[in-house]
Structure 1
Amino acid sequence: MVYTALVKRLDPLIEEEVTLELEGIEFTGFAFICPYKIEEGKSYPVSIGFTILNQLMIHEIQEEKKEIERIGLGYEYYIRGLLHQDTIDAGLVFVDDDEYFSDYPELMDKYVEIKVDRISIEFLRTTTD
């Protein structure tokens, strides 16, 4: 899904680290694809996903909750929301590019919590770029 994201902060030391606001939700992630220069205070089209470095931790939750919760001061997040075949709807829709969710057919269309090592951000080209 394509969103318009406001760049809230660019880290001066870690080039890929960016803090965005999408639909009132603020989070820090890594811009793994950024085909142009971005600036704080400006908005850009993006899609969002997640990165799992070791093993996916996923389980069903009883509440119908959609949220993104940062774990401590690092880059890990809990993403809670409705699981679909290749996305999780946590108020923002995260794409499962690595097909992790296909291993959990019993959790489809249920509310789940996943722990991710970081949120991945792809800045998209527009026709005017």
Structure 2
Amino acid sequence: MTTEMKILAIDDLVEECMTILVHGNVIECFVNSCPKAVAVGETHWVEITIDYSDPLQIEESTETNALPQKIGDGFGYYLNGTLEGAIFRSFIDFSDDDIHYDYPELEAKPVKIKADRINLNFIV
């Protein structure tokens, strides 16, 4: 799924590290794919995906706030949302069939997922 975001910062040391603003949320992402030069202040269309450990750390939650919660200094986040079929609805919608098939008992319930990394893929 694609979404529009604004670049807030590009790390000086790790060029794949970018801080963005998406749907009112500031998140630090790992840039998987960026086929052209970009600059702070620009807006772009991107696909945002999540990487998570195997096994996935997921649990039913009472939290209804979809704000991403950063974990330490790395790229990790706790993401709250709801599983709806192949879509994990959080601060944005993530498409992921694996979660849906592996955890059918969590369908339509609020969940908390530990994301090891949030990835950006720029759309040309």
TM score, norm. by length of structure 1? 0.87
In structure 2, how many angstroms separate the alpha carbons of the residues matched to 1:93 and 1:28? 17
- 1:34 paired to 2:16: no
Alignment of 1:17-56 (within 5 A): 17-56=17-56
Deviations 1:71-92 (A, max 9, x none): 1222110000011232211121
* Alignment partners' CA distance in 2, 1:81 and 1:69: 12
Q: Which runs of 5+ in 2 are unaligned?
A: none
For 2:40 and 2:91, the matched residues in 1 are separated by 24
1:8 aligns with 2:2: no
Residue 20 of structure 1: how far off its partner (Å): 0.5
Amino acid at match of 2:113: I
* Bigger Cα displacement from structure 2, 35-44 vs 86-95: 86-95
* Same amino acid, percent of matched pairs: 32
Residues 63 and 80 in structure 2, CA contact (< 8 A), matched pair in contact too = no
Partner residue in 2 for 1:63: 63
CA RMSD of aligned residues (A): 1.5
2:23 and 2:65 map into 1 onto residues whose CA distance is 17
Name the TM-score, length of structure 2 as normaliser: 0.91
SS at match of 2:68: strand
Q: Deviations over 1:31-63 (max 9, x none)?
A: 111121111110000121101244210011123
8 Å CA contact 1:81, 1:88 repeated in 2:
yes
The alignment of Structure 1 onto Structure 2 pairs a total of residues equal to 124
Give the 3-state SS of the residue equivalent to 1:99 in structure 2.
Answer: helix
Whichever residue aligns with residue 67 of structure 1, its letter is L
